[in-house]
Structure 1
Amino acid sequence: MTVDVLVIGGAHIDRRGRLFGPAKMGASNPGRWIEEPGGGGFNAACNLARLGRSVRLISPRGGDPAGERVSAAAERLGIDDCPITFLDRVTPSYTAILEEDGNLVIALADMALYDLFTARRLRARTVRESLASAHMILCDANLPSETIAAIADIAASNGASLAAIAISPAKATRLLPCLERLDHVFMNATEAEVLAGRRAVDAVEWPDLLRRAGLKAGTITAGGDMTIAFEKDRVIALTPPPVSDIADVTGAGDAFAAGFLAARLDGASLDIALRTGTAAAAVTLLSPQATAENLATDILASRLELVPDAEILS
C-alpha cells in the first residue's frame, strides 16, 4: 500500500492539567484535566489525514490499554496504523501542568520506550516495506539519533523526501548527526539555537546559521512573532495574524508541519506552504484538543484567507 506520507515518531498519551488561576506550589490547585492521544508524529498524522492525505503511522507502543487507545484514535481517522509493540512495556506519556494562560508550570515525560526503537527495528518487514515505498517521510526527534540517521540513509537511497519535527530543545540534538540529509526541519527558535550552535541576534539570521550547520531547508516559528522559512537560496518571512480566544497552544507546531507538508504535496510554493501551515496552526490554537476535530480543507481554506502573503527576504 502506497500512502502520501509515512510518519515515524511519537504516538503516546498526552495529559494536560490547566489551572484556573496562578499556580500555587505545594498546594492543591483548581483546574481541569484533558487526556488524549498525542505526540509529534501522531498529531501531524491526524492533521494530514483530516486534510485528506493518506497516512501510515509507525511508532513504538506498549502492550497496554494506552497503546490500544492510541491505535483506535488513529484508525478512526483512517490512518494506516502500524505500531511496533513492546508487549512488556507501557506506552509513553507526557503529563503537563499549565498556567491559566497556557504557559507550562512543570511537565513529566515518561518516554523511555522510544529509546528502544533502535535502528535495527527498521528491519522489520512492515517498516522496511513502508520505507521502500514512501515518497515523503516525516519523523520526529522522539526517536533515537541512530534511528533518525538510519531513516535518513534509507530515504536518500530511495529518493524519498525526509522532513523532521524537532520536538524540543533537548531532543533536537538527535537531529544533528544527520542534519545535512534532512530535507526540511520544523522547529522553534529555541530548537533552532540547538541545531545552529548559537542564537540568532535577529530572526532573519536563522537561515544563514542553519545552512552553515548543514541544513538545506526549514521553518523557524516563534509563537505569534515572525516565522522564517528557507530553502536553497530563498528566504521568506511571515508574521501570523493574531488569534483571539486561544484555547490551548498544544499541537500548534505539529499542525503547522502538517499544513505545510499537505501544501507541498499539492506542489505549492514555499510561500503558499508557509501560509497554509500558519492557517492550520491557527485552527488548532482555537481547539482545546491538540488536533482540532474541525480541521478540514474548507476550514483551512477560510482561515488561509486571513493569512497575509509572506515577505521575500532573498
Structure 2
Amino acid sequence: MTHDILCVGSVLWDVIGRTTIGMRLSSDEPGRITRLPGGVAMNIAMTFSRFGLKPALITAIGQDHEGDELMMRAGQMGIVMDYVHRPKDLPTDRYMAIEGPAGLVAALADAHSLEAAGDAILVPLENGALGSAETPYDGIIALDGNLTVDLLAEIAARPSFAFADLRVAPASPGKARRLRPLMSHPGATLYVNREEAGILTDSTPDTAVQGAHALLDAGATRVIVTDGGNLAAEGHKTRGVITAPCPSIRVRRITGAGDTFMAAHIAAEREGKPPADALDTAQKIAAKYVSGEDV
C-alpha cells in the first residue's frame, strides 16, 4: 500500500485565538490568532506524519481556494490525498476557537460540507481502490465523530468495514452519542474523555477508570478514557482496566490534544509496545503537546 493508516473524517482550517488573560462573556483581550490545517482526521494524520508514518485521508474538501491550499499543505507534509472527495458545490470546512489560560473558552465547528458529502467520501473503501464488501479493508482506520450518526451507523454494519481495526474519536462531547452504533463493532477502540464516557453510558464517572468500566459494561470491546491531567485508563473486555498517569505540565494549548494522544497511542502500538507502555507513551506525548513543545 502507499500508506500506513487511513484517517477518516474532518479536514478543515483551524482558526485559533489564544490569550494569557482570563476571559468571560463579552471579554475583548489581546492575544494571538493562528490559521492552521485542522480537524480531527487531519490532526491525527499530521501527528502520524511526525512519527514517521504515512497516513492517507478520507474526507471532503471543497474545490475553492481554501480547499486547494489545504490539499497542498497536506501533501507537503507527506499525507496521501489521492482518496479525498472534492465536491464542486460545497465549501471547505472551518473551525474557530478561543483559548484562555484555563483552556478552551468557546468554539464553533463549521463542518457542514463533510456532513453533506455523506457516504461519497467512502467510495474508495467500496469500489476496490482500498477495499470493498468482498475484500474488506483490514488495516487501521482512525475514524472521527464528525460524520453523521447515520453514516457512523452504516460504517458499523457495512461488510467493507467488517475486518478493519477501527480507532474512533467523538470529536467533541456534543457528538459523543453518535458513536453508540460503533460500540458493538468487534474491531472498534473508542478514544473518549471522562465526560464523553459518561454521555455514552448515561452515567457520571468521577475518574477515567470508572468511565472505562461503564463503557465495557455497556458493550464496548475496547476503550481508552482520558481525564485531562489525571490518570488515563484503557479497558478491554477480556483484559480488564489499566491506567497511566499524566505528567505535570503548564497548559499552553488545548485544541488538538486529544487527537495527538490518539495518534501517539496508535503509533506506539504499531511499534509493538504492550498496552501499559503504549498508554504511558500517549500520556507523555500529549502532555508535551499541551505544554507547547513539539512532538
Same fold at TM > 0.5:
yes
Q: State the secondary structure of the residue aligned to 1:163.
A: strand
CA–CA separation in structure 1 for the residues paired with 2:77 and 2:126: 20
- Whether contact under 8 Å (1:117, 1:143) holds in the other structure is no
Match of 1:237 among 227, 231, 243: 243
Give the fraction of aligned pairs with identical amino acids, expressed as a percent. Answer: 29
Q: State the secondary structure of the residue aligned to 1:109.
A: strand
Counterparts in 2 of 1:24 and 1:159: CA distance versus 1, 3 Å: closer
CA–CA separation in structure 2 for the residues paired with 1:125 and 1:177: 19
Counterparts in 2 of 1:212 and 1:117: CA distance versus 1, 3 Å: farther
CA–CA separation in structure 1 for the residues paired with 2:271 and 2:248: 27
Match of 1:139 among 138, 143, 148: 143
Gaps of 5+ in 2: none
1:272 corresponds in structure 2 to 277
CA–CA separation in structure 2 for the residues paired with 1:126 and 1:204: 37
1:239 alignment partner AA? P
Counterparts in 2 of 1:20 and 1:271: CA distance versus 1, 3 Å: closer
1:84 corresponds in structure 2 to 85
2:273 alignment partner AA? A
- Write out aligned runs for 1:74-223 (5 A): 74-81=74-81, 82-99=83-100, 101-119=101-119, 121-124=121-124, 128-131=128-131, 132-154=136-158, 158-181=162-185, 182-223=187-228
CA–CA separation in structure 1 for the residues paired with 2:150 and 2:156: 10
CA–CA separation in structure 2 for the residues paired with 1:93 and 1:80: 21
1:214 alignment partner AA? G
Residue 234 of structure 1, CA deviation: 2.4
- Whether contact under 8 Å (2:137, 2:161) holds in the other structure is no
Query: How many residues matched?
Result: 288
Counterparts in 2 of 1:56 and 1:126: CA distance versus 1, 3 Å: farther
Counterparts in 2 of 1:65 and 1:151: CA distance versus 1, 3 Å: same
Q: State the secondary structure of the residue aligned to 1:274.
A: helix
1:299 corresponds in structure 2 to none
- Whether contact under 8 Å (2:209, 2:232) holds in the other structure is no
2:91 alignment partner AA? V
- Whether contact under 8 Å (1:37, 1:69) holds in the other structure is no
2:93 alignment partner AA? P
Residue 2 of structure 1, CA deviation: 4.6
- Whether contact under 8 Å (2:213, 2:241) holds in the other structure is no
The TM-score with structure 2 as length reference comes to 0.89
Residue 32 of structure 1, CA deviation: 1.3
Residues 218-271 of structure 1 show CA distances to partners (whole Å, capped at 9, x for unaligned) of 111111011111113321111211123x32122111111011101111222111
- Whether contact under 8 Å (1:61, 1:90) holds in the other structure is yes
The TM-score with structure 1 as length reference comes to 0.84
Residue 166 of structure 1, CA deviation: 1.4
1:309 corresponds in structure 2 to none
CA–CA separation in structure 1 for the residues paired with 2:211 and 2:56: 32
Match of 1:226 among 222, 231, 246: 231
Q: State the secondary structure of the residue aligned to 2:272.
A: coil
Counterparts in 2 of 1:155 and 1:226: CA distance versus 1, 3 Å: farther
Counterparts in 2 of 1:211 and 1:27: CA distance versus 1, 3 Å: closer
CA-based RMSD of the aligned residues comes to: 2.2
